[in-house]
Amino acid sequence: MSALDYLWLVPALPFLGAAVNGLLVRNRHKSLATAIGVGAPGLSLLVALACLAEFLARPGHAPFEQLLYPWTAGALSIDVAFLLDPLSAVMLFVVTFVGFVIHVYSVGYMAHEEGYRRFFAYMNLFMGAMLLLVLGSNFLVMFVGWEGVGLCSYLLIGFYFDQDFPPQAGRKAFIVNRIGDFAFLLGVFAIFAQFGTLSFKGVNTAILEDIGAAQAPFVLGLSVASFIALCLFVGAMGKSAQIPLYVWLPDAMAGPTPVSALIHAATMVTAGVYMVARTNLIYQLAPSVSMFVAVIGAATAIFAATIGIAQNDIKKVLAYSTVSQLGYMFLAAGVGAYVLAIFHLATHAFFKALLFLGSGSVIHAMGGEQDMRKMGSLRKHLPWTYRTFLIGTLAISGVPFLAGFFSKDAILGAAFEKSPVLWIIGIATAALTACYMLRLLCLTFLGKFRGTHEQQHHLHESPAVIVVPLVILATGAVFAGYAGKIPFTHFDWLGGFLASVIVVLPGHEGHVAHHEIGLEVMLVGASVLAAVAGLLLAWRLWGGYRGTSSDEALARRLPRAYRLVENKYFVDEIYDRFVVRPLRGFARFCWKVIDSVIIDGGLHVLAFLTELAGDLGRFTTTGNVRQYALYFFTGVLVLFWWMIF
Amino acid sequence: MTIPIVWYLVLAAVLFCIGTFGALTRRSGIAIFLSIELMLNAANLTLVAYSRIHGDSAGQMFVFFALAVAAAEAAVGLGLFISIFRLRHTIDVNRLNQLRW
């Protein structure tokens, strides 16, 4: 009996947990809800680890496919099947591990919230859908998971449904995601139309059999591969919050903090990156689309990073940081470094989940306050949160020997190879990242306390159930980077592990990206320098007891630029003006003119005519029998007249 | 020497017209009823006349049936008028005009 035979349990357990918690458990049975809510992902993690252990022992990491149900409908033949190959193995580990840790954290964080049971039901549902997405062996299963996580994201953003903003944010997330999903679905249709199959393996085989066909012109002047790649990428834009569909992610912070950590930092938003890596063959055949991906990624990275500088809500900063880091991943995928995209995805999952959970611990201690202007000096009161948060900050900033450094540095190296412009943007983003993250740390943990007296009195370190997950994730944030490419050495475990997933096109074999030592020193030096420069700048502006005085100074010195950045480049306003309001106007037109006037009006006219005819007709029904007899007689006469003449 | 068919028909037509006139102008329910009987018998008369001319007794059979039905109808009609009279103390059809809007 092999553990891999139980692979189906990995997504099934969280689904079961969601069903039991959602449908059977009562609200008052809180400990039962906890046991199921945390137990299901916990068991799922154990099964996943057993599967991974066995998978690693397989010779050559041969992909394992588990067919659950051959679903056939006419010419369309799609299996409900799971695929465990190196790529989904990495994702499986990240999702189950980080997911489980966040579930444990939620027990502490959500302890006093209304809807505790509902929260865990949604979270488990999310885990199930995400694992379906990751493990699916074809585009359809992936799409089901893809939509499932979107649904859970909507449910969890709007978790506090009794307030005004969260449900709105949830709807926004759902609608913006739908735009991307539409394109994703188009891509899937195109794949089926072209290759007659939806399984990842089948598509790759079909393409490799006839590369010319995949590069044949298709529609809109794009080749088959380009069209599919573009559609899929638009889908990824929505889910992974890239320009221009990133606007939902910052608003998604309206959900509880563990949700932000799990869904909007570590797992769901990286689904787009996973999908691009999964379909890397198509992207390799579509170089122009790949370039587009890289440009969008780089643009998103720097754009979001600049916004992050001027935000005062602790979670908003982290949200823009997430958007920015996702940009890095797409930059990597766009320049063809799919392994590095996944590498950054994994390290980012650790340190960004850590940062979000840390911010949750802060918010918890501050009694729900999220405005950094009212924080400060929390280092003294929340020592463990501070230590782990410091590790997270240094890791995301790209300080050497921590996780973020390895993945980010490798991505920048790959970007340099493709285009120095992208590299410069990447370096600038790295500096900005270090800057806004240290600003966040300084405003929150250092300096003087700027909140109310009551809040200060209430400050306390979070319980162990919150701190232990932080420590676990901090450990990951330190060591996760050693799994991948280490500069100046030939060590690259992750690269070797994932090599079989990245299809090498015929004629491109033997290309190994190893820079000369001089170039490598320059590249690594530049990224370290950028991180250090960003940190130093932030320390000069916000370090010590300066508080928010530098923000005010910046706002005074560069009023227009600061206002622009503080208001997120007015993108929401632009969308409101050019998309939302015209759409609303159109809907209003449909309602007020087409529905109320044309459709309802037509019916009203018809009803009026009928009534009029009735009104006229009823003058003839007087109730007088003799009159009726006269009608009758007249009728007979008319009939006779008609019959005779 | 037989009476020509036209005479019968003229008599029937005259009876029918009298009946129609009575049915349209009388206000008493019973009188209207009698007028209708008159129209019915006008029709019966033509049937009998033709039966005699053609030497075919089917017409006379029809008349027997018509008389039987008319008797039954008269019984029902009179019964209705009696119950209406009990209810409304009148059988003036001008005042029996409840069946209207």
Domain count, chain A: 1
Report yes or no: A617 at the B interface, CB cutoff 8 Å.
no
Q: Interhelix angle for A271-278 vs A86-109, to 10°? A: 170
Domain count, chain B: 1
SS3 A84: strand
CB A234 within 8 A of CB A184: yes
Q: Which residue of B has its CA nearest to A633?
A: B20
Report yes or no: A643 at the B interface, CB cutoff 8 Å.
no
- Report yes or no on A236 lying in a domain: no
Quick check: A626 and B24 CB within 8 A? Answer: yes
The DSSP H or E segment spanning A75 is none
What are the b/e assignments for A432-460, b being 16+ CB within 10 Å?
Answer: bbbbbbbbbbbbbbbbebbbeeebeeebe
- Report yes or no on A634 lying in a domain: yes
Task: Name the residue with tokens 């840790």.
Answer: A101
**Domain that residue A634 falls in:** 572-644
Tokens of B12: 């029937």
Quick check: A626 and B98 CB within 8 A? Answer: no
- CA separation for the pair A485, A523 (Å, rounded): 14
Chain B residues within an 8 Å CB radius of A635 = none
- Report yes or no on A499 lying in a domain: no
- Report yes or no on A632 lying in a domain: yes
Mean pLDDT for chain A?
90
Closest CA to B33 of B100, B86, B87, B81: B81
- Report yes or no on A183 lying in a domain: no
**Tell me, what's the pLDDT at A62?**
87
Report yes or no: B23 at the A interface, CB cutoff 8 Å.
yes
- CA separation for the pair A82, A460 (Å, rounded): 45
Report yes or no: A623 at the B interface, CB cutoff 8 Å.
yes
Chain A residues within an 8 Å CB radius of B27 = 626
Q: What are phi and psi of A162, to 5 degrees?
A: -85, -5
Q: Which residue of A has its CA nearest to B95?
A: A624
Q: How many CB atoms lie within 10 A of CB A132?
A: 25
**Tell me, what's the pLDDT at A53?**
92
Report yes or no: A620 at the B interface, CB cutoff 8 Å.
no
- Report yes or no on B34 lying in a domain: yes
A625, A630, A633: residue with CB nearest B93: A625
Q: What are phi and psi of A80, to 5 degrees?
A: -85, 100
Residue to mutate among A619, A626, A633, A637, with most B CBs inside 10 A, is: A626
pLDDT in tens, A391-426: 999 999 988 889 999 999 999 999 998 889 999 999
Q: What is the ipTM of this complex?
A: 0.80
Tokens of A173: 């997330």
B27, B32, B101: residue with CB nearest A621: B101
CA distance B96 to chain A (A): 7
Q: Interhelix angle for A86-109 vs A30-57, to 10°? A: 160
Q: Which residue of A has its CA nearest to B98?
A: A623
**A509 DSSP 8-state letter:** T
Report yes or no: A622 at the B interface, CB cutoff 8 Å.
yes
Chain A residues within an 8 Å CB radius of B100 = 618, 621-624
CA distance A628 to chain B (A): 9
**Tell me, what's the pLDDT at A1?**
56
Contact residues, A window 524-553, toward B, CB-based 8 Å cutoff: none
User: What amino acid occupies position A334?
Assistant: G
Measured in whole angstroms, the distance separating CA A442 from the mean position of its chain's CA atoms is 28
- Report yes or no on A286 lying in a domain: no
Quick check: A630 and B98 CB within 8 A? Answer: no
- Report yes or no on B76 lying in a domain: yes
Residue to mutate among B18, B92, B97, B98, with most A CBs inside 10 A, is: B97
Question: Residue A217, exposed/middle/buried by CB under 10 A (0-12, 13-18, 19+)?
Answer: exposed
- Report yes or no on A501 lying in a domain: no
Contacts (Cβ under 8 Å, ≥6 apart) of A304: A246, A320, A321, A323, A324, A327
- Report yes or no on B21 lying in a domain: no
- CA separation for the pair A248, A281 (Å, rounded): 30
SS3 A486: coil
Measured in whole angstroms, the distance separating CA A497 from the mean position of its chain's CA atoms is 25
- CA separation for the pair A398, A375 (Å, rounded): 25
Report how many Cβ contacts below 8 Å link chain A to chain B: 34
- CA separation for the pair B97, A31 (Å, rounded): 78
Quick check: A626 and B97 CB within 8 A? Answer: no
- Report yes or no on A431 lying in a domain: no
**Tell me, what's the pLDDT at A5?**
87
Give me the residues of chain A with pLDDT under 70, please: 1, 73, 507-515
For chain A, give the longest Cα–Cα distance.
Answer: 119
- CA separation for the pair A344, A130 (Å, rounded): 19
Q: Given a cut of 60, is residue B101 above it in pLDDT?
A: no
Chain A residues within an 8 Å CB radius of B94 = 624, 626
DSSP calls for A377-433: -HHHH-HHHHHHHHHHHHHHHT-TTSHHHHHHHHHHHHHHHH-HHHHHHHHHHHHHH
**Tell me, what's the pLDDT at B1?**
56
pTM for the full model?
0.81
Report yes or no: B43 at the A interface, CB cutoff 8 Å.
no
Tokens of A437: 């993250």
SS3 A311: coil
- CA separation for the pair B6, A644 (Å, rounded): 19
Confidence of residue B3 (pLDDT cuts 50, 70, 90): confident
Quick check: B20 and A630 CB within 8 A? Answer: no
- CA separation for the pair B20, A192 (Å, rounded): 83
Report yes or no: A629 at the B interface, CB cutoff 8 Å.
yes
CB A393 within 8 A of CB A355: yes
**Tell me, what's the pLDDT at A353?**
94
